[in-house]
Amino acid sequence: MSVKDIISKICPSATFEEGEILLANVPAGDWRRLAEALKSNPDLNYDVLSAVVGMDWKDSLGVVYYFTCTSRNWEMLTVKVAVADRENPYIHTVSDLWKVANFQEREVYDFFGIKFIGHPDMRRFFLRNDWKGFPLRKDYDADPKLNPIPESDEKNEDNTMSYVEDAEGLIKAIPSKVFEEHDYVMNIGPQHPSTHGVMRFRVALNGEEVKKIDVVSGYIHRGIEKLCEGLGYPQLLHFTDRMDYMSAHQNRHCLCACIEKALGLQVPDRAVVIRTIMDELMRISSHLLAFGCTAMDLGATTAFFYGFREREMVLNIFEKTCGARMSMNYNVIGGVIADLHPDFVKDVKEFLEVMPKALKEYHTVFSGNIIAKNRLHVGKMTKEEAINYAITGPSGRGSGWSNDCRKKHPYAAYDRVEFEEVLEEGCDSYARYMVRMREIEQSCKIIAQLIDNIPEGDIRAQVPKVVKLPAGHWYTQVEASRGTFGVYIESDGSKNPYRVHFQSPCFNLVGVMDLTCKGHMIADVITIGAALDFVIPDIDR
């Protein structure tokens, strides 16, 4: 029996749209029953919730869910759930089925005002709780007279709310507290350098032991997804370099690939190979920074400078071809914006000669150091927990979960190179650290196979001066430096996107801080955060 037939049997009211990914439209009243079946029915078994996209279709509000079944060759399913009531929109939560939905649903509530029945903590996530209105709704009025910028300091949000449906279908608001009455709560951030950016954690302590972590985000939220709605497609691209700036090439690659898929555009083979090499150089650069920052957060400042020494070589390579060292703006719709610098192949080969020796030095100085090993054996996260929280990338693979997009859904030139997906079974911070170290070796291996085989030819396809996507929706994923990065685009056929959503891996990573830090010492919070390696602008989109 097909997935479509099984869903029809469970939910006869569902309607379907065929496409690259099967889409099921499900009434809000039937959603919870179907969600439980998607998770528990062995013939469905969608164990990963890959993306949660809030939507305003003007006549209704709703959510688009993307699910993945890892046991059926990473098959994906899309489910749309909509409600017509704009004053009090309610949808049942799935945060108890897929833990990753906890923060994802709070984001949807924050920007669309959809309340999730059964969610334990219905607070805003990025905006202040006293913010008026929901900015990603189509009828949102940003007039400062209606919604003036608050002049008072933001208060700690100690009160929260959950919505419970009784047997008669009535929904009641149940107030509760974020922390227990006598909890001792310590503040970490948002200025603390070891939070890896402008992130704040409110930490309840029992002595020096962590009892609970409440993540407070939004200090640098820029409203990128809202800005996208007023821009043409080529104008969207620069945003991706400025989210996870250590995944700049991969993120921009993903957005371009999503637009190209919608246009049915064939990217020239030279650009395909160049994109792949740049993505892997970006991954190495990111992992070198992660190595250096992890070492520095533990007090090993010498190792920090070692990592930056080799990373400087990668940035020099980027600068020659792209004209910039961080916000490269290199991928464009249809290919890349400029051809490779004449020194590119020579410089890359020199770098590939240096890295094996450098990695041995890193392992001597830091990886094998008894203090580093003792400090990093914290932050346990089982394989099952990694799947439930959708922790992809090195952090998920450090828990033994095979989830590499380059292997599961090969794209660019990844189907023509040989490399290993690096897995570690330690399930702790040291395992996550070692995955990154070993992935540097694999990235070098990928680049070595491509660097002498860059095809001749065009660097980009012909693209219309005014890019208009046909009406519809598309979702694309790539393997960014910190995990699966996804782009959702919905088009109404005009030159501006109707909706763009960036599904960032770092948003999921910060979602396991409470899970991985609970029961550890306060000093371990910094270590665990460093090994998870989240980048704050990727969260505060």
Dump pLDDT digits (tens) for 426-467. 999 999 999 999 999 999 999 999 999 999 999 999 988 888
Q: What is the pLDDT of residues 55-114, one digit of tens each?
A: 999 889 999 999 999 988 899 999 999 998 888 999 999 999 999 999 999 999 999 999
Give the mean pLDDT of 260-283. Answer: 94
Q: How would residue 480 be classed by pLDDT, with cut points 50, 70 and 90?
A: very high
Q: What is the pLDDT of residues 200-227, one digit of tens each?
A: 889 999 999 999 999 888 888 888 999 9
Give the mean pLDDT of 291-296. Answer: 87
**Could you tell me how far CA 477 lies from the centroid of its own chain?**
10
Residue 206 has phi, psi (to 5 degrees) of -115, 95
In sequence order, what are the beta bridge partners of 77?
Answer: 22, 67
Please provide the DSSP assignment of 395-460 as one string: HHHTTT----HHHHS--TTGGGS--PPP--S--SHHHHHHHHHHHHHHHHHHHHHHTT-PPPS-SB
Q: How would residue 301 be classed by pLDDT, with cut points 50, 70 and 90?
A: confident
Return the amino acid letter for 91: I
Give CA–CA dist 53/507, Å, rounded.
13
The answer to whether the CB of 338 falls within 8 A of the CB of 466 is no
Q: What is the pLDDT of residues 373-392, one digit of tens each?
A: 889 999 999 999 999 999 99
Residue 89 token pair: 């929109």
User: What is the structure's pLDDT at 195?
Assistant: 67
User: What is the structure's pLDDT at 143?
Assistant: 73
Q: What is the mean pLDDT of the chain?
A: 90
148 CB contacts (<8 Å, ≥6 apart)?
A: none
Give CA–CA dist 468/518, Å, rounded.
49
Return the half-sphere exposure (C-beta side, CA atoms, 13 A cut-off) of residue 30.
16
Q: What is the pLDDT of residues 146-198, one digit of tens each?
A: 777 777 887 888 888 888 888 777 888 889 898 888 889 988 878 766 667 78
Residue 439 has phi, psi (to 5 degrees) of -70, -25
Residue 464 has phi, psi (to 5 degrees) of -60, 150
The answer to whether the CB of 83 falls within 8 A of the CB of 91 is yes
The answer to whether the CB of 121 falls within 8 A of the CB of 162 is yes
254 CB contacts (<8 Å, ≥6 apart)?
A: 240, 476, 477, 478, 480, 485, 486, 487
Q: What is the pLDDT of residues 481-539, one digit of tens each?
A: 999 999 999 999 999 999 999 999 989 998 998 999 999 999 898 889 888 888 888 88
pTM, full prediction? 0.92
